[in-house]
Amino acid sequence: NCHGLGHAIKRKKILCALKKEKADIALLQETHLCDAEHAKLRRAWVGQVYFSSFKSNSRGTAILIHKNVPFIIDKNISDPEGRFILITGSLYGQPITILNIYTPNTDTPAFMSKIITLFNEHCVSFGVVAGDFNCTLNPTQDKSSQVPTTNPRSAKMLNSLTKEMGLIDIWRETNSSSMDYTYYSNVHNTYSRIDYIFIPKSFI
């Protein structure tokens, strides 16, 4: 979650940080860029950019693909509300689906159902659905203190649908007892993990 990429210096810093991490594919949320401004992300190591825009001061998602990654695009579904971007195509001759999400910070199980169902409809083989889900799946492991669960109905829907569709939280699968977080709340003075990467269980 970038919290805005409108400033040229911040864009450069983030792109440089991703390059240093040797990122092949990066999923960004809250880009806060219009359609034309997203083209500015196609710099240096970035060969392909897919995005959804809303307003220059809110939302926005983007998928950046390294210029050396031989991804061939087939379909690009861009949310006009700037909440998600889904792409399908092939990588090294194999089909792949990538869905990048920025979920509302309110309790919206209907949105959660919509995006997971969308991914399931388009994923024919390997796929990744990831991003800022704005909810905690397991309060015991995903929060630093036992305050009320963030957006509980959304979390319940996400848990239910991912299990039903055979998707797995791959970080938790490989870090079963770890406590690590992606967000800090000043209001509750607590850390939580609200960002996830799901893949089909059959690909573990």
Question: Which residues make up each annotated binding site for Mg(2+)?
Answer: 30, 132, 134
Tell me the binding residues. Answer: 30, 132, 134
**How far is the C-alpha of 179 from the C-alpha of 150, rounded, in Å?**
17
**How far is the C-alpha of 5 from the C-alpha of 58, rounded, in Å?**
10
Torsion sign, CA atoms 69, 41, 125, 160: positive
DSSP symbol at 58: B
**How far is the C-alpha of 67 from the C-alpha of 43, rounded, in Å?**
10
In which region does residue 59 sit, left (phi positive, over 0), alpha (psi from -120 to 50) or beta (all else)? left
SS3 of 94, please? strand
Angle between helices 152-164 and 109-122 (to 10 degrees): 20
**How far is the C-alpha of 21 from the C-alpha of 43, rounded, in Å?**
16
